[in-house]
């Protein structure tokens, strides 16, 4: 059985932003982050990655980037 779901967005207004490290301990997730830092050369660019226990990857998301 394949189960797909969409997870909500996390956004924090400054000065309450924080760095995140995302890891998937069970199953698999396709995680996406969008750069919302106005002064960044990658403003509004996005990056997505598959996370699972099998590939043992984690996703580092800096302050100001919307996961």
pTM: 0.74
Q: Is residue 31 part of a domain?
A: yes
- pLDDT level of residue 34 (50, 70, 90 thresholds): confident
Q: Tell me 26's DSSP state.
A: S
- pLDDT level of residue 65 (50, 70, 90 thresholds): confident
In this prediction, residues 46-65 reach a mean pLDDT of 90
Q: Is residue 42 part of a domain?
A: yes
Q: What is the model's pLDDT at position 10?
A: 65
Q: Is residue 14 part of a domain?
A: no
d(CA 42, CA 67): 15
Q: Residue written as tokens 């002064």?
A: 39
User: What is the number of domains present in the chain?
Assistant: 1
Q: Is residue 32 part of a domain?
A: yes
Q: What is the model's pLDDT at position 16?
A: 80
In this prediction, residues 39-50 reach a mean pLDDT of 90
d(CA 51, CA 22): 9
12 versus 37: which is more confidently predicted?
37
């Amino acid at each position: 059985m394949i189960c797909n779901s969409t997870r909500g967005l996390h956004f924090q207004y400054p000065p309450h932003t924080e760095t995140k490290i995302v890891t998937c301990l069970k199953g698999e997730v396709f995680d996406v982050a969008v750069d919302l830092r106005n002064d960044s050369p990658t403003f509004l660019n996005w990056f997505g990655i598959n996370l699972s226990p099998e590939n043992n990857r984690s996703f580092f998301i800096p302050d100001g980037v919307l996961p």
